[in-house]
Amino acid sequence: MDLHLREFDGITFGMSVEASSPAFRRMKRNVFTGEIVRCRGLFKQTVRCVRAADVAAVMGKAGWLVSEGRCMETIRWGNDDTEYYIIYEEEGEK
């Protein structure tokens, strides 16, 4: 399964992962609908979301891009064009 991630500055990153891995299945199962604020707070948008911790687990060694760098904005996988926004939780929030 191919993952496609987009950074906040528009740069894209791709990688292959095992679609049958427990981490990938958990990420897909934990998808939720949430509200994000766009354009410097001018409007809210309801989008599909995944938690950064789930994305980092799927990415394996490259997971630091999400867990430490917090530089990825969206993710999509396979042939589906749906973009899922990566939600970064604050410390102690889970």
93 has pLDDT over 80: no
Q: Where are the domains of the chain?
A: 2-87
- Dig out the tokens for 20 from the structure: 């049958």
Q: Give the span between the Cα atoms of 49 and 83, in whole angstroms.
A: 8
Q: What is the mean pLDDT of the chain?
A: 89
Q: Which of 30-34, 36-40, 53-57 has the lowest mean pLDDT?
A: 36-40
94 has pLDDT over 60: no
pLDDT digits (tens, 9 = 90+) for 10-34: 889 899 998 899 999 999 999 999 9
CB count within 10 Å of CB 62 equals 15
Type of residue found at 77: W
